[in-house]
Chain A
Amino acid sequence: MTAPVTTAPVSPAPLIEIEDLSIGFTSRSGATLPILRNIDLTINEGETVGLVGESGSGKSTLALAMMGYLKGGLRVLNGATSFRDRNTFELSTQELEQIRGGELALIPQNAGQSLTPTLRIGAQIGEALKLHSRIEEADCPARVIELLSQVRLPDPEQLVERYPHELSGGQQQRVAIAMALAGEPDALLLDEPTTGLDVTTQAHVLELLRDLAANTGTAMVYVSHDLGAIARVSDRIVVMYAGEIVLEGNSRQVLRTPVHPYARGLLASIPKLADARLPVAMDGRPPSPGGTGAGCAFADRCALAEARCRAEQPLLQKAQGGQTVRCHLQEEVAHLAMPASATAERTSIPDRTPSVLDLDDVAISYARPGLLDQILGRQSNATPTVDNISIAIRKGETIGLIGESGSGKSTILKAIAGLLPTKNGKITFGSNEALHSNVDKRSNDQLRRIQLIFQNPDDSLNPRHTIAEILAQPLRLYFGLTGDDLRARSEELLERVRLGAHYLERLPSQLSGGEKQRVAVARAFAADPELVLCDEVTSALDVSVQAAVLELLKQLQEDQGTTYLFVSHDLAVVRALADRVAVLYQGRLCEIGPAERVYALPSHPYTEVLLGAVLEPDPDTAPVLTAEDVVELSPVANGCSFQRRCPRRLGAICDSTTPPLQSDDKGHAIRCHIPREELLALQSQDHAQGDATSPRLTQPGL
């Protein structure tokens, strides 16, 4: 018999099969509420499948069910899952232990919490090897090092001696991946493995996972809310909504021409680097478990919904391009154009506009002088966390502050709000009103004119206060409103953020994430502020909700002429909202200028790295990874802040001399030793060599 030489498509063997699976829980009123409803899904050997959906869509529950695990209180209502033809929910604990970690490994979201803090890295991986592989005890150390090299960790020989807390988030995630690979699994379940990592780290980890899948032939189930990440690693995408699979198909089809209206809405709500307009928000919110009626779960939010959609539950059916979809109107959906943003291009704010706030050479230091220094009256000479920040914020503009974690962007906001003392420099409000660096020393009027909105509304709204009380606090404090006036103004504010007056008596816990953030926005606007400091205000929200909150912020700005200082790690979100952008690295300004200039060439090398690492829900773009994703512990004392990671490093001059701020006539400035023209030439050249079709960077404008 001769072996077939051609690589004829062998029909792939199914690895994980899920049949008509429903999982639910019993509510305290005794009703059975489903979390997953009638899921049918097959994962084949060597296949990478992305499970995407917003929070509450049941994607994590489904992934955990694949390994026979249910979170507390959940039970299987119907159907079964099997792994290699063994029914997972009927296996004994011992049999499950064999499969889990061995044939089927999980990589959790937060690797920092899944590693044992008291065990050295080598020992943790060694333990996984002992449990799930048949290698000899003596071969373990070599295999550990091999695994660590496989996940591209530098110096694996030294790393085995380290403890988890000595590693960065990205390195911890790589260790978690190495542990999962220890048992040479047939399939990896990845539950939001890059959420919470910095953009550059995320891009590196995803590239690693892609390569691993290609080289080892391991099947992967990748769970995420982030279509950009999913697009990068998946052959096939499964879109979930309200506990159901609504769309399934190969990545290209799902991302380019999705035939389900929800998938279309989801794609349209993602901000894109190349598009300076606001993404399109989706109305409404997903139904709560058990809250779906007889019809389609998405009907209430669907623009196309007709009587049939509300009366009759659609079944999964075949659609164009091999997609499987749960929609009555899929044929009509397929012929619709993708929703496009209706907002106009922004009109730029003239340079002459007076500034609302001037930061002049501001430095902030967290280091407190030690006891001895205090006695001797010496100043701490540690390198400040934030240094040499000069930004003039003009009236009515939105200025975006971009940087990875530890870049000092939130620190700057806190200093402006008077919550952190500045070590050096001045903050001037309005034309020439010096702002005291301590909030207690500011006048009531100054306090009123600057307001803050926080990242996580769960934390920024007092859980014991009703919405009425939350809104009343600034209204009483700044305007002395009481009684009917207070109520009328509160209702007006809720209307403005598109929530009704009936929200007044509710507690934050009775609201969805997006609604809570709207309340937080309403509270900030209750003060009738001139400058609103937005600290990652959309990063805790689902994409569709994020789009709606961005739209709201934009609307409020148009109505009231408010100025925003908008801090975010997400370059695409900043692109959608900001007029001007400042890029921070380790508390030092790298680049500042009009958004269209910062996002175009020439860029500061750090901006270039950041832009290259952005993931977009587009099967044809690949991130450009130029710099290492290593951590740096503290900012450098001398020279350029980016010297240690810079892919365009010149040499000793970068270590010794602070680079000059090179400005052009349009107010775009880059802090780099490489002359602008040379940067432009270098970057355009690399750009042309890379993928010429990539739309990620707009053409250089001179």
Chain B
Amino acid sequence: MTSLSDTAVAGQKPLLVRAAVVIGDIVSRPSGLIGFGLVVLHIFLAIASPFFVPYDYKEVSAQLMLQAPSAEHWFGTDHLGRDIFTRTLLGGREALMVTAIATPIAVTWGGFLGVLFGLLGGRFDDVLMRVVDAFLSLPWILVMLLAVVIFGSSSQVLIPTLGFFYGIPVIRIARAATHDVVARDFVVAARARGQRKMTIIGRELLPNVLDVLMVEGAMRWSWMLLAFSSLSFLGFGVSPPTPDWGLMISDSRGFMSFAPWAALAPVVGLSSLIIGINLTADALAKAMGIDRAQKAPL
């Protein structure tokens, strides 16, 4: 048991202390340790890699085209003779930056509406949830392509677009979690006591819904990374010569048969990050006492 004494009576634990407890719980599980380690490694690389990459990522060389891995070029070179190791290290920066901003946006607005619908209930909730269902039925990749074609593929466009689309499923999750909590006796007890509505929402409801939203946010983050990379792969995301995993996979597709390393390196980069996030989300769910395995999302 962690030492939790000496906090003020009736006060919640400071946020940092609670976060430390949760992270401690995550890394105490083998899968959580691996997942959390991968996520931390990727964030570190995204921030620090420009300072130590061996080559210039846009240095083109006709002599070095599609070279196999060697002592000079650990992961070989691509079809323009650029160092793949350098480009892989740098390739997650844009994706991580965009999704790391878009995820909180998605969770915040989706969570807000979900809790609101869950609390209001009745006809209002019935009608609005059908609107949500209609949005969920749209093929998101087509809609996003449309948005990118109309507004361009800068991060100023991608962040709100991803944030909007990935917030919609969050509405459902937040609404379901709200329904669960509202029916529980501690909320009934607070109502019977005559607590003010805002106190009930803030003190009784939100702490329990936020846990679900955090786990949901982690899951959405990994989906969003995949969506971002798909856009880049299709040529609508990051523009060359900026290094990006999706774009690198797309570029090296044609040489896969004789230069597989060119595609393999960005694939490893992308999948290790997504696996890391998923493992962390699972460990987070266990640490918070909400097991994702028991509650299928959507």
Residues of A within 8 A of B (CB): 28, 417-419, 439-440, 442, 444, 447, 451-452, 454-456, 459-466, 468-469, 471-474, 476-477, 486-487, 490, 504-505, 509-510, 523, 527
Decide: A462 and B208 in contact? CB cutoff 8 A: yes
Given the known interface contacts A463-B289, A490-B9, the answer about A473 and B208 at a Cβ–Cβ threshold of 8 Å is no
Check B149 for interface membership: any CB of A closer than 8 A.
no
Check B63 for interface membership: any CB of A closer than 8 A.
no
Decide: B195 and A477 in contact? CB cutoff 8 A: yes
Check B189 for interface membership: any CB of A closer than 8 A.
yes
Decide: B186 and A460 in contact? CB cutoff 8 A: yes
Contact of A462 among B28, B186, B193, B211 (CB under 8 A): B186
Bound complex: CA of A473 vs CA of B189, how far in Å?
11
Decide: B9 and A473 in contact? CB cutoff 8 A: no
Check B5 for interface membership: any CB of A closer than 8 A.
yes
Which residues of the partner chain A approach B12 to less than 8 Å between Cβ atoms?
466, 469
Which residues of the partner chain B approach A418 to less than 8 Å between Cβ atoms?
192
The 7 closest A-B pairs by CB, nearest first: A472-B10, A447-B194, A460-B185, A464-B207, A487-B9, A459-B185, A462-B186
Bound complex: CA of A461 vs CA of B184, how far in Å?
9
B16 to nearest A CB, angstroms?
A: 17
Check B190 for interface membership: any CB of A closer than 8 A.
yes
B24 to nearest A CB, angstroms?
A: 12
Decide: B184 and A473 in contact? CB cutoff 8 A: no
Given the known interface contacts A456-B185, A459-B186, A462-B208, the answer about A444 and B9 at a Cβ–Cβ threshold of 8 Å is no
Contact of A442 among B4, B189, B194 (CB under 8 A): B194
Which residues of the partner chain B approach A452 to less than 8 Å between Cβ atoms?
188-189, 192
Given the known interface contacts A28-B28, A444-B194, A505-B4, the answer about A460 and B9 at a Cβ–Cβ threshold of 8 Å is no
Q: Which residue of A lies closest to B196 (CB)?
A: A477
Decide: A505 and B7 in contact? CB cutoff 8 A: yes
Contact of A473 among B4, B185, B190, B191 (CB under 8 A): B190
Decide: A462 and B10 in contact? CB cutoff 8 A: no
Can you report 11 A-B residue pairs in the complex whose CB atoms are below 8 A from each other? Answer: A417-B192, A451-B192, A452-B192, A462-B186, A462-B207, A469-B10, A473-B190, A473-B195, A486-B9, A505-B7, A527-B193
Bound complex: CA of A472 vs CA of B190, how far in Å?
12
5 more CB-based (< 8 A) A-B contacts, given A455-B185, A462-B203, A462-B208: A440-B194, A459-B185, A463-B208, A463-B289, A466-B10
Residues of B within 8 A of A (CB): 1, 4-5, 7, 9-12, 28, 184-186, 188-195, 203-204, 207-208, 211, 289
Given the known interface contacts A459-B186, A486-B9, the answer about A464 and B191 at a Cβ–Cβ threshold of 8 Å is no
Bound complex: CA of A417 vs CA of B190, how far in Å?
11
Which residues of the partner chain B approach A459 to less than 8 Å between Cβ atoms?
184-186
Q: Which residue of A lies closest to B186 (CB)?
A: A462
How many A-B contacts at CB < 8 Å in the complex? 80
Which residues of the partner chain A approach B184 to less than 8 Å between Cβ atoms?
459-460
Which residues of the partner chain B approach A477 to less than 8 Å between Cβ atoms?
193-195
Query: Which among A442, A468, A471, A509 has the highest number of chain B CB atoms within 10 Å?
Result: A468
Which residues of the partner chain A approach B203 to less than 8 Å between Cβ atoms?
462, 465, 473
Bound complex: CA of A463 vs CA of B180, how far in Å?
14
Query: Which among B9, B28, B184, B188 has the highest number of chain A CB atoms within 10 Å?
Result: B9
Which residues of the partner chain A approach B192 to less than 8 Å between Cβ atoms?
417-419, 439, 447, 451-452
Which residues of the partner chain B approach A462 to less than 8 Å between Cβ atoms?
186, 203-204, 207-208
Bound complex: CA of A472 vs CA of B185, how far in Å?
18
Bound complex: CA of A417 vs CA of B191, how far in Å?
9
Which residues of the partner chain A approach B188 to less than 8 Å between Cβ atoms?
419, 452, 454, 460
Bound complex: CA of A673 vs CA of B203, how far in Å?
53
Bound complex: CA of A256 vs CA of B184, how far in Å?
42
Bound complex: CA of A472 vs CA of B9, how far in Å?
9
Bound complex: CA of A504 vs CA of B10, how far in Å?
8
Q: Which residue of A lies closest to B18 (CB)?
A: A464
Given the known interface contacts A419-B188, A464-B208, the answer about A473 and B193 at a Cβ–Cβ threshold of 8 Å is yes
Bound complex: CA of A274 vs CA of B177, how far in Å?
47
B6 to nearest A CB, angstroms?
A: 8
Which residues of the partner chain B approach A451 to less than 8 Å between Cβ atoms?
192-193
Query: Which among B10, B184, B189, B208 has the highest number of chain A CB atoms within 10 Å?
Result: B10
Bound complex: CA of A472 vs CA of B199, how far in Å?
13
Decide: B186 and A439 in contact? CB cutoff 8 A: no
Which residues of the partner chain B approach A490 to less than 8 Å between Cβ atoms?
9-10
Decide: B28 and A468 in contact? CB cutoff 8 A: no
Decide: A454 and B194 in contact? CB cutoff 8 A: no
Bound complex: CA of A509 vs CA of B287, how far in Å?
13
Given the known interface contacts A462-B204, A464-B208, A505-B5, the answer about A454 and B189 at a Cβ–Cβ threshold of 8 Å is yes
B237 to nearest A CB, angstroms?
A: 39
B121 to nearest A CB, angstroms?
A: 13
Bound complex: CA of A457 vs CA of B28, how far in Å?
29
B160 to nearest A CB, angstroms?
A: 32
Which residues of the partner chain B approach A486 to less than 8 Å between Cβ atoms?
9-10
Decide: B194 and A439 in contact? CB cutoff 8 A: yes
Q: Which residue of B lies closest to A452 (CB)?
A: B192
A448 to nearest B CB, angstroms?
A: 8
Bound complex: CA of A504 vs CA of B13, how far in Å?
13
Query: Which among A452, A464, A486, A487 has the highest number of chain B CB atoms within 10 Å?
Result: A464
Q: Which residue of B lies closest to A508 (CB)?
A: B186
Bound complex: CA of A500 vs CA of B185, how far in Å?
25
Bound complex: CA of A486 vs CA of B9, how far in Å?
8
Decide: B10 and A468 in contact? CB cutoff 8 A: yes
Which residues of the partner chain B approach A472 to less than 8 Å between Cβ atoms?
9-10
Which residues of the partner chain A approach B4 to less than 8 Å between Cβ atoms?
505
Bound complex: CA of A82 vs CA of B5, how far in Å?
50
Which residues of the partner chain A approach B186 to less than 8 Å between Cβ atoms?
459-462
Bound complex: CA of A468 vs CA of B189, how far in Å?
16
Bound complex: CA of A465 vs CA of B204, how far in Å?
8
Which residues of the partner chain A approach B208 to less than 8 Å between Cβ atoms?
462-464
